[in-house]
Amino acid sequence: MLRADGLSLEKAADLLKKSEIVAVPTETVYGLAANSLDTEAVARIFAAKGRPQDNPLISHICDMEMLEAIADGISPLARRLAERFWPGSLTMIFGRKPIMPVQTCGGLDTVAVRMPANTWTLSLIEKCGFPLAAPSANTSGLPSPTTAQHVMADMNGKIPMIIDGGECSCGVESTVICFIGDKIRILRPGAVTAEMLGEFAETEIDQAVLCKLESGARAISPGMKYKHYSPRAEVVAVDTDSDDDFDKYVMSNSDGKTVVLGFGEDFHGLSALPYGASSEEQAEHLFDSLRRADEMGFTKVIVRAPSKAGIGLAVYNRLIRAAAFNVVYLGTSGERK
Ligand code: TXA
Ligand code: MG
Phi, psi of 109 (to 5 degrees): -95, 20
Using the atom order of ligand 1, give the atom closest to the CA of residue 170.
1
Q: Taking residues 8-35, what's their average pLDDT?
A: 98
The pLDDT-based confidence of 262 (bands split at 50, 70, 90) is confident
Q: How far apart are CA 79 and CA 90, in angstroms?
A: 12
Predicted pLDDT at 199: 98
User: 176 alpha carbon to ligand 1 midpoint, in Å?
Assistant: 7
All residues at 6 or more sequence positions from 221 whose CB lies less than 8 Å from its CB, including other chains: 176, 187, 188, 206, 208
Residue with CA nearest ligand 1 atom 33:
221
Q: Among candidates 77, 66, 74, 139, which has minimal Cα distance to 100?
A: 66
Q: Quote the radius of gyration of the chain (alpha carbons, Å).
A: 20
- Overall average pLDDT of the 11-31 stretch: 98
- Return residues with CB closer than 5 A to ligand 2 (ion): 136
The residues lining ligand 1, judged by C-beta closer than 6 Å to any ligand atom, are 26, 28-29, 31, 55-58, 89, 91, 93, 105, 108, 110-112, 114, 116, 134-136, 173-174, 176, 187-188, 220-224
Tell me the per-residue pLDDT of 276-312, one tens digit each, with 9 for 90 and over: 889 999 999 999 999 999 999 999 999 999 999 999 9
pTM of the model: 0.95
| pLDDT exceeds cutoff 50 at 337 | no
The pairs formed by 205-213 with CB atoms below 8 angstroms and a separation of 24 or more are: 205/313, 209/313, 209/317, 210/308, 210/316, 210/317, 210/320, 211/325, 212/325
Measured between alpha carbons, how far is 164 from 111 in angstroms, rounded to an integer? 28
Asked whether the predicted pLDDT for residue 333 surpasses 80, the reply is no
Run of H or E residues at 321: helix 312-322
**306 to each of 217, 281, 282, how far by Cα in Å?**
27, 11, 8
Residue-wise pLDDT tens digits, 176-218: 999 999 999 999 999 999 999 999 999 999 998 988 766 666 6
